[in-house]
Amino acid sequence: MMLDIFKKTQKKNDSSDNINLIKITALLIHAARIDHNYSDKEKLLIMNFLKNIDPKIDFKKIIKNAEEEEENSNQILNYTQEIKKNTTEFKKEIIKTLWKIILSDNNSDIYENTLMRRIAGLLYVPDRLVGETKQEVLNKKNYDILR
């Protein structure tokens, strides 16, 4: 479960966990909004990500707080600091979720691609892993279309 991966590097403090989740969620929302089209499909992907971390959390409150956080910020560094402290496996899940959000409209523009390169650099995730993860998301998307 993704919660186990996330909890490994977190303090035993619910409020700090929520703050970290808000920052992570704000990064996902930033990716969703970068094309100026924050769709219901993207919101659902973010909600599912949070449910996978912990089905018991108040994901609506986390998303609301993260939306406010993202609106009032002009940088992504603050959002990536907590993710950077986590495992490679967790970072890959974040990258995968970001690609799902970006590709949910069947398109990735120059701004979205640049954002992914910036995030990968801040998380110290190799370009190869980012590319493989993007391809994995595209392959899954194409498979789901064919079914």
Q: Indicate whether 15 pLDDT > 70.
A: no
Please tell me the pTM assigned to this model: 0.86
Average of per-residue pLDDT across 63-74? 94
Range of the domain at 43: 2-146
Q: Give the model confidence (pLDDT) of 19-47 as tens digits.
A: 899 999 999 999 999 999 999 999 999 99
**Best CA proximity match to 80, nearest among 29, 119, 113:** 119
b (16+ CB within 10 A) / e for 50-76:
beebbeebebeebbebbbebbeeeeeb
Domain with residue 74: its CATH number is 1.10.3680.10
Could you give the percent of the chain with pLDDT greater than 70? 85
Q: For residue 114, what is the enclosing H or E element? A: helix 110-123
Phi (first) and psi of residue 74, to 5 degrees: -125, 20
User: How far is residue 140's CA from residue 117's CA, in Å, rounded to a whole number?
Assistant: 22
Please give, one letter per residue, the 3-state secondary structure of 62-94. Answer: HHHHHHHHHHCCCCCHHHHHHHHCCCHHHHHHH
Residue 145 confidence (pLDDT): 53
Q: Indicate whether 147 pLDDT > 50.
A: no
As for how many domains the chain has, the answer is: 1
Cα R_g (the chain), whole angstroms: 14
Q: Decide if 114 contacts 34 (C-beta within 8 A).
A: no
Q: Indicate whether 17 pLDDT > 80.
A: no
More confident residue, 8 or 94: 94
Q: Indicate whether 143 pLDDT > 90.
A: no
